[in-house]
Amino acid sequence: MSRDQDRVQRIHSGGPWETALGYSRAIRVGDRVLVSGTTAARDADEPVPSDPAEQARRVFETIRTALEHAGAQLEDTIRVRLFVVDLPTNGDAVLGVLNETLRSVRPVISTLGVSALVEPDLLVEVEVEAIVGAGDVFEG
């Protein structure tokens, strides 16, 4: 096993597209954790909520779990990228959930309006980067 293989941890959540498309939910390299674009999609038996805020809450639940499996916590988040379908209509709801979830963390963010995501009922996708222990840093 090479040194890189010793340093890289791949996290799989069992999401519907991870195996089919061949990607990881998250990857940890050293103290850095990168979480793939995450939507509200779960297994085929669980419908996606139509409400953008509910979708965003589901997204952050999945991200929280992925970070925990990588040895991080949501409070370690340093960057968030939001992709929102019909940003003028859905943006406030999604940003409201971001505010509920990460307001005290104050990561850097980008919010992009997109025309569509991988499935027509999905309204929000979120990518997160974290550094293990970043949430323990006091900010005055």
pLDDT digits (tens, 9 = 90+) for 43-96: 777 889 999 999 999 999 999 999 999 999 999 999 999 999 999 999 999 999
Query: Which letter, b or e, does each residue of 95-131 get, where b requires 16 or more Cβ atoms within 10 Å of its Cβ?
Result: bebbeebbeebebeeeeeeeeebeeeebbbbbbbbbb
> What is the mean predicted confidence (pLDDT) over 26-52?
90
Give the single-character DSSP code of 119: S
pLDDT of residue 127: 98
In a 10 Å sphere around its CB, with 0-12 CB exposed, 13-18 middle and 19+ buried, how is residue 83 labelled? Answer: buried
pLDDT band at 12 (very low <50, low <70, confident <90, very high): confident
Tell me the CATH class for 3-136.
alpha beta
Average pLDDT over residues 118-132: 96
Residues of the chain above pLDDT 70, percent: 89
Q: And the tokens for 66? A: 């992925």
pLDDT of residue 83: 98
